[in-house]
Amino acid sequence: MRQSFEVPWKLSGLNEYTRACRANRYKGAAMKRTNQDIAALSIRAARLKPYDGPVRVSITWVEPNMRRDPDNIRFAAKFVLDALVEEGVLPNDTQRYVKGISDRFLVNRNNPRIIVEIEEV
């Protein structure tokens, strides 16, 4: 089974998250919760069916420009996977259930977004 959903804007990157955590531990926790909630809203809207076995996740990161480094952008996969678990789409985000994560980076000034595809292994 193959399913997908789209987050209609970009999520915080590693640099922003690190800055928030260093400023105040509650600020870092609030940022994680906000980003995870954004991803969860998109998951709910897509009405994804739950998986009970292992999956591969492909994420296309569509940024408004090329300013952020790919490794900084890709950190948001943490928010996406945690939201998939929280919404009951994945039983867990350990290596037992997530067999691979692949990334692709694109630029679209007018339509930044995150496209997530999940495929059963």
Q: What is the pLDDT of residue 62?
A: 98
pLDDT of residue 98: 98
| Residues in Cβ contact with 25 at an 8 Å cutoff, skipping those fewer than 6 apart | none
Residue 32's alpha-carbon distances to 6, 48, 75, 79, 92, in angstroms, are 19, 22, 11, 7, 18
25 pLDDT band, cuts 50/70/90, is confident
Q: What would the pLDDT profile of 37-57 be if each residue is shown by its tens digit?
A: 999 999 999 999 999 999 999
pLDDT 10s digits, 82-116: 999 999 999 999 999 999 999 999 999 999 999 99
CATH superfamily of 2-120: Holliday junction resolvase RusA (3.30.1330.70)
